[in-house]
Amino acid sequence: MNESKDFLRTIVEEDLASGKFQEVHTRFPPEPNGFPHIGHAKSIVINFGIARDYHGRCNLRMDDTNPITEDTRYVEALKDAVHWLGFEWDDGIRHTSDYFPRLYDYAVQLIKMGKAYVDSLNEEEIREYRGTVTEPGRRSKYAQRSVEENLDLFERMKNGEFKEGEHVLRAKIDMGAANMQLRDPLLYRIRHVHHHRTGDTWSIYPMYDFAHCLSDYIEGITHSFCTLEFENNRAIYDWVLDTLELEPPRPYQYEFARLAITYTVMSKRKLLELVNEGKVNGWDDPRMPTIAGYRRRGYTKESILNFCDQIGIAKANSTVDVAQLEFAIRDDLNTKVPRVMCVLDPLKVTIENYEGSEEIDASYYPHDVPKEASRKLPFSKEIYIERDDFDENPPKGYFRLTPEQPVRLKHAYIITCKEVVKDADGNVVEIKAEYHPDSKSGQDTSGIKVKSAIHWVDAKGAKKAEVRLYDRLFKEEAPKGMEDLNPDSLKVIEHALVEPAVITERPDERFQFERQGYFYADPVDYSDEHPVFNKIVALKDSWSKKRKAPEKAPKPQPKKVQIDGEVAPMNEAEQARFDKYTDELKLGTEVANTLARDEKLSHFYEEALSVLQSPVSLANIVANEVARELKEKEIDALKFTPKQIAGLVKMVEEGTISSKIAKQVFEEMTVSGKDPEKIVEEKGLVQISDPAQILPIIEEVMAKNPDNVAKFKAGNTKLLGFFVGQVLKSTGGKANPKVVNELVAKKLK
């Protein structure tokens, strides 16, 4: 259960403590008139999550009261979304149409009580009679009909004797109510439409306000969570239940803020328009904000769940920056996916002094990811690099290959440009280079200093792939419609080149293409003969550069490294720090740049280094977590000290806590300023490394997943990650990942 209670959970706890309800029973009641989107994901997480947290139940109910727009494929999409997010509904799927006979009987009961009547005004007259926010409405003359006449007309409406719009059933409440929802709301309307479940049985269909509260009551729902646009409808919800004097217990409605995201539309009407007008390639187009679209793009369920958890549950509407959702997927994939190399715009490089070929052993993961796996990179005299990784006339601050500047090939050697080959139009078509045999990564004794490492693929070993570069579907922060579509939301590269292991070994379905972004093997179009990869998200938010400069200059922030020629050249002091960090402390280029360019950040790092001689680990946390805090605060306002950061890193290195727990401890340090040792002690976060404690958890996970155990033993070794993840989840991230990996692998043999 979440440690910090939102207002909905507070309500639930109070109701349980007071004895108002013995069990929590929620529901997720979507209309099956479109594919569920990210807003539905939030509702799913709230309804199913609260039921789970309080050991209750949650129903999945299709609100199928408008047969004009409904379709069984939408029902399947909704079921699939709930399952994919990891939830189970209680005792089969419900449909509002299951209750049509009972709803009709309740309507008859209201008529008999004199609380409902058949109105014969047309739609325009009903609107006119309703009044305004400053003027009361007028009741229809048809409200004077007798109970007998209303019962007769209502039954004939049900039997299909009237045209659509000829009559409606309305509640008789108060035409002068300040809440206009109470001005004799419609309860039923005539629809001569085939229903996908009830066929042609019914010619009348209940309105949402009538059907929803009664469906909740019939199902025994205790807490009916709705978005804020239904706040005024709560009065009708209560009126129907109270007027019918139904036997308790009865449900209660509570409202929360709906999800709105920048650069995104979530109106079903607009999403349907995008699909029907061919602006996108269906509901599962990776640019769509549908759950199916996010899945096909490569988002993980964990990233969606984490995003919903991070934005919380609010009482007031607001708009979430889409960058927060993009951060959630980056954060999730960063510690999961293998790093590989893919060249999108190939430029041939011939290494003239290299003969033969070799295989270079390269890890799939950086040192700070607790996974161990590697692949063989073929290397020969002909390779391809990214076209923009060479510049004949480089701007200042350009760190990649130039006629005068050598560069390192990632995992391989340093190369130097010797000749630039051009075609008749002056376009560069080939680079002739030489390599330095004593500069191999991990064994470099060349003494050559380079400021960048670039990705590459071997000409013979590389595999061709189609790469789909997806970007935001809309170019405006608050899009209004089709006129705001981003014309560059999809770019297809048909002849990208990837290293062979991506295709031949398939270590995963998601990858970080070095320096390009995160990518996913398209689940529909991919085949080993024609590999297709979708771009999930870039490695950093590039859209922030496109926004207009604010009127007031923002507070200076530490600059992140950008090895793409966009940063200013270093001054003398910065260069000296950079040289020290790369040469003496062996820091990576990106981290060294981040620290070297910010004097205060560099000072913080060196203070921490004076406490703990662990330059790489300290540099990573300072250049990322500490730098992130400095975006919002001055360094003097930080709650934590360099000494405390050193203490946190020491605990990770000694195995006291895991890297995942360290992030949790750091977040607490930013708020409380407590020593990390104290936080770990108070919260009981010490890492579990004792096999005797971990093995029973592994056995329990395996017992719960016999099908996956069988699949693993049948050859699906990718499931190792599934079991490791389940064990880590069961321990709240406390288990030592390395120990878990080893024990799970042994257990599954």
Q: Which residues carry a binding-site annotation?
A: 31-33, 37-43, 63, 208, 227, 258-259, 266-268
Which residue ranges make up the annotated binding site for L-glutamine? Answer: 63, 208
Could you tell me if 349 and 288 are in contact, meaning their C-beta atoms sit under 8 angstroms apart? no
As a whole number of angstroms, the distance between CA 504 and CA 429 comes to 29
**Token output for 261:** 């995201």
As a whole number of angstroms, the distance between CA 604 and CA 626 comes to 9
List, in order, residues 6 or more apart from 84 with CB less than 8 Å away. 291, 295, 301
List, in order, residues 6 or more apart from 456 with CB less than 8 Å away. 341, 343, 349, 383, 384, 385, 409, 410, 412
Q: What is the dihedral of CA 386, 391, 395, 401, to 10 degrees?
A: 70
As a whole number of angstroms, the distance between CA 301 and CA 87 comes to 11
CA 647 to centroid of chain Cα atoms? 32
**Burial category of 290 from C-beta neighbours within 10 Å (exposed 0-12, middle 13-18, buried 19 and up):** buried
- Residue of 79, 138, 197, 268 with catalytic role: 268
Report the interhelical angle of 737-747 vs 691-704 (nearest 10°).
Answer: 50
> How do 517-521 and 407-409 pair as beta strands?
unpaired
Which residue ranges make up the annotated binding site for ATP? Answer: 31-33, 37-43, 227, 258-259, 266-268
As a whole number of angstroms, the distance between CA 691 and CA 687 comes to 12
- Residue of 5, 130, 191, 258 with catalytic role: 258
Whether 31 is a known active-site residue: answer yes
Whether 552 is a known active-site residue: answer no
As a whole number of angstroms, the distance between CA 622 and CA 595 comes to 8
> Taking Cα atoms as reference points, which of 563, 517, 531, 470 lies closest to residue 340?
517
As a whole number of angstroms, the distance between CA 730 and CA 381 comes to 49
Tally of residues, the chain:
749
Whether 258 is a known active-site residue: answer yes
Helices (H), 485-539: 501-504
> How do 374-380 and 414-422 pair as beta strands?
unpaired
CB atoms within 10 A of CB 337: 25
Could you say which DSSP state residue 171 is in? E
List, in order, residues 6 or more apart from 627 with CB less than 8 Å away. 558, 560, 594, 598, 601
Angle ∠(414,411,659) on CA atoms, nearest 5: 135
**Burial category of 107 from C-beta neighbours within 10 Å (exposed 0-12, middle 13-18, buried 19 and up):** buried
Which residues are marked as active site?
31, 258, 268
